């Protein structure tokens, strides 16, 4: 297949996963609208159908809560093929949605879409919603300065080693019986384990029991960890939102201040032992024991740190393809198990945005070449083994197709 054939296939995947104003990540495994998947889908659509790209973001933000939170899943239509569905979350939201958020990449990608396509009016309509979402992160997810997550699913990097410590403290004795659906769609050895799922569900049950009251969740919830990835994403997203505000002639200095405050709080995530920014448990102060791709997203935020750069260079050089989601030198590294080792084209694309901004042309080219090679060899899969390039997870995946169109090709 030539690259032009792959362009065609990628566009066909986006169209096939389109459910009318929103896309699903892939048929079967993920039958609803996911937050950051949609932002990437919008970026992909913008390369050949800009109006449809903006529509994707509009549909996502139409599900925004009055609090400003943009949920991580929007259950537009019922589908028994995924667990946990809207009935388990029981948030009472319209449209039905989950009760947690996901990495706030929308402003970063909306800015790029606008630069490529114009359409200032579409951006203007989105701006107050982006601002409200970023304010929500500031008010409800930065209890000690950095961005924290109340559920591993909120991080988007579900079972990565960052969350092991916090997850170990989640009590699962009252979870009860439930049936997973994910392992009926893809190889169970590539998915999180049963113990992980019990804990995921226990955290959801806590949110549901307190009516998704954020004060209660932050104060008494079973899981709260500082997330380097979301902190870095939010620094960049706030700076991009400030740039959007300038384009629109809006006068609000809040996003720049929020970005500076996040950056000032970064030392809290610095592990002397690992010489990197890593996840940290708010309750115990313990640091995660491995360097994940969360650390590499420091490049997206433009954070400079020589010690960390040395670690990242070693990690990247120890694999053949892309930035791995976990350090291959760590005991927890597993090259095909979801966020515990594989490389993810979407994360590579975010890192590349940072490399581009910093003028690091050679590294950006290398990351793009390695990511493109994975897709050329393996197709539009969800993620890949960083050692031998084996394609993993779901096929015909929206965000991999989008990344191909918007960046990797
Ligand atoms: C994965 O997460 C969902 C839960 O949100 C799952 O495993 O069921 C993650 O890779 C997440 O980052 C992604 O947004 C979602 C849909 O692609 O799948």
Annotated catalytic, 260? no
Residue 7 has pLDDT above 90, yes or no: yes
CATH number at residue 20: 1.50.10.10
pLDDT value at residue 144: 94
Residue 190 has pLDDT above 90, yes or no: no
Judge if the beta carbon of residue 103 lies within 6 A of ligand 1. no
Q: How far apart are CA 289 and CA 282, in angstroms?
A: 15
Report residue 30: phi and psi, to 5°: -130, 85
Expressed in angstroms and rounded, the spacing between residue 306 Cα and the centre of ligand 1 is 32
CA of 397, closest atom in ligand 1: 17
Question: What is the value of ipTM here, to two decimals?
Answer: 0.99
**For 300, left (φ over 0), alpha (ψ -120 to 50), or beta?**
alpha
Judge if the beta carbon of residue 363 lies within 6 A of ligand 1. no
Q: What is the pLDDT of residues 355-394, one digit of tens each?
A: 999 999 999 999 999 999 999 999 999 999 999 999 999 9
Q: How far apart are CA 194 and CA 216, in angstroms?
A: 27
Judge if the beta carbon of residue 119 lies within 6 A of ligand 1. no
Q: What is the pLDDT of residues 218-258, one digit of tens each?
A: 999 999 999 999 999 999 999 999 999 999 999 889 999 99
User: Atom 9 (ligand 1): residue with closest C-alpha?
Assistant: 156
CA of 25, closest atom in ligand 1: 17
Residue 186 has pLDDT above 90, yes or no: no
Annotated catalytic, 281? no
Distance, CA of 147 to chain centre: 13
What integer is the mean pLDDT of 37-52? 98
Q: What is the pLDDT of residues 146-162, one digit of tens each?
A: 999 999 999 999 999 99
- Taking all residues of the chain, what is their mean pLDDT, rounded to a whole number? 97
Helix or strand holding residue 165 (H, E): helix 164-168
User: Pick the catalytic residue: 158, 261, 309, 373?
Assistant: 158
Distances (CA, A) of 406 to 218, 316, 409: 37, 23, 8
| Pairing label, strands 383-384, 391-392 | antiparallel
pLDDT value at residue 205: 98
Give the structural domain span for 315: 3-406
Q: Ligand 1: which of 23, 33, 34 to mutate, most ligand atoms within 8 Å of CB?
A: 34
Judge if the beta carbon of residue 34 lies within 6 A of ligand 1. yes
Q: How many domains does the chain have?
A: 1
Q: Strand ranges (DSSP E) for 15-118?
A: 33-34, 73-74
CA of 103, closest atom in ligand 1: 12
Q: What is the pLDDT of residues 307-342, one digit of tens each?
A: 999 999 999 999 999 999 999 999 999 999 999 999
Closest CA to 71 of 26, 103, 31, 111: 103
Expressed in angstroms and rounded, the spacing between residue 249 Cα and the centre of ligand 1 is 36
Q: What is the pLDDT of residues 127-138, one digit of tens each?
A: 999 999 999 999
What integer is the mean pLDDT of 113-119? 96
191: confidence class by pLDDT, cuts 50, 70, 90: confident
Distance, CA of 120 to chain centre: 26
User: Pick the catalytic residue: 164, 240, 382, 385?
Assistant: 382
* Model pTM above 0.90: yes
Expressed in angstroms and rounded, the spacing between residue 150 Cα and the centre of ligand 1 is 15
Distances (CA, A) of 1 to 12, 142, 323, 384, 403: 15, 47, 25, 19, 18
β-bridge mates for residue 26, sequence order: 30
- Share of residues in the chain with pLDDT > 70 (%): 100
Q: What is the pLDDT of residues 21-32, one digit of tens each?
A: 999 999 999 999
Distances (CA, A) of 381 to 30, 342, 376, 388, 404: 13, 12, 11, 15, 11
Whether the Cβ atoms of residue 55 and residue 117 lie closer than 8 Å to each other: no
Tokens coding 123 = 């951006």
pLDDT value at residue 251: 87
pLDDT value at residue 189: 87
Judge if the beta carbon of residue 37 lies within 6 A of ligand 1. yes
Expressed in angstroms and rounded, the spacing between residue 156 Cα and the centre of ligand 1 is 6
């Amino acid at each position: 297949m030539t690259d032009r054939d792959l362009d065609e296939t990628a566009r066909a995947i986006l169209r096939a996963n389109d459910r009318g104003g929103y896309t699903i990540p892939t048929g079967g495994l993920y039958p609803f609208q996911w937050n950051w998947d949609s932002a990437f889908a919008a970026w992909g659509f913008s390369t050949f159908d800009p109006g449809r790209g903006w529509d994707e973001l509009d549909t996502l933000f139409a599900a925004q809560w009055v609090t400003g939170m943009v949920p991580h899943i929007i259950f537009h239509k019922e589908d028994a093929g995924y667990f946990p569905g809207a009935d388990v979350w029981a948030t009472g939201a319209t449209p039905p949605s989950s009760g947690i958020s996901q990495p706030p990449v929308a402003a970063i990608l909306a800015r790029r879409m606008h630069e490529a396509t114009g359409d200032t009016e579409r951006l203007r309509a989105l701006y107050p919603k982006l601002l409200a979402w970023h304010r929500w992160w500031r008010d409800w997810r930065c209890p000690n300065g950095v961005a924290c997550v109340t559920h591993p699913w909120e991080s988007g990097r579900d079972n990565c080693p960052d969350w092991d410590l916090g997850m170990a403290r989640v009590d699962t004795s009252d979870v009860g019986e439930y049936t997973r659906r994910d392992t009926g769609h893809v190889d169970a050895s590539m998915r999180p384990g049963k113990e992980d799922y019990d804990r995921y569900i226990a955290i959801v049950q806590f949110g549901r029991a307190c009516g998704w009251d954020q004060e209660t969740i932050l104060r008494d919830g079973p899981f709260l960890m500082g997330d380097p990835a979301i902190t870095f994403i939010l620094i960049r997203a706030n700076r991009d939102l400030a740039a959007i505000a300038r384009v629109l002639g809006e006068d609000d200095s809040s996003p720049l201040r929020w970005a500076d405050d996040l950056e000032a709080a970064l030392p809290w995530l610095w592990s002397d032992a690992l010489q990197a920014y890593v996840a940290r448990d708010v309750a115990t102060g313990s640091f995660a024991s491995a360097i994940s791709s969360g650390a590499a997203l420091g490049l997206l935020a433009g954070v400079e740190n020589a010690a960390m750069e040395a670690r990242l260079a070693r990690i990247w050089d120890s694999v053949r393809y892309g930035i791995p989601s976990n350090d291959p030198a760590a005991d927890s590294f597993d090259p095909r198990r979801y966020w515990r080792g594989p490389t993810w084209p979407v994360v590579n694309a975010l890192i590349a945005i940072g490399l581009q901004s910093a003028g690091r042309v050679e590294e950006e080219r290398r990351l793009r070449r390695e990511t493109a090679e994975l897709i050329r060899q393996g197709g539009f899969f969800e993620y890949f083994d960083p050692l031998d390039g084996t394609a993993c997870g779901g096929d015909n995946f929206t965000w991999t197709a989008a990344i191909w169109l918007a960046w990797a090709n």
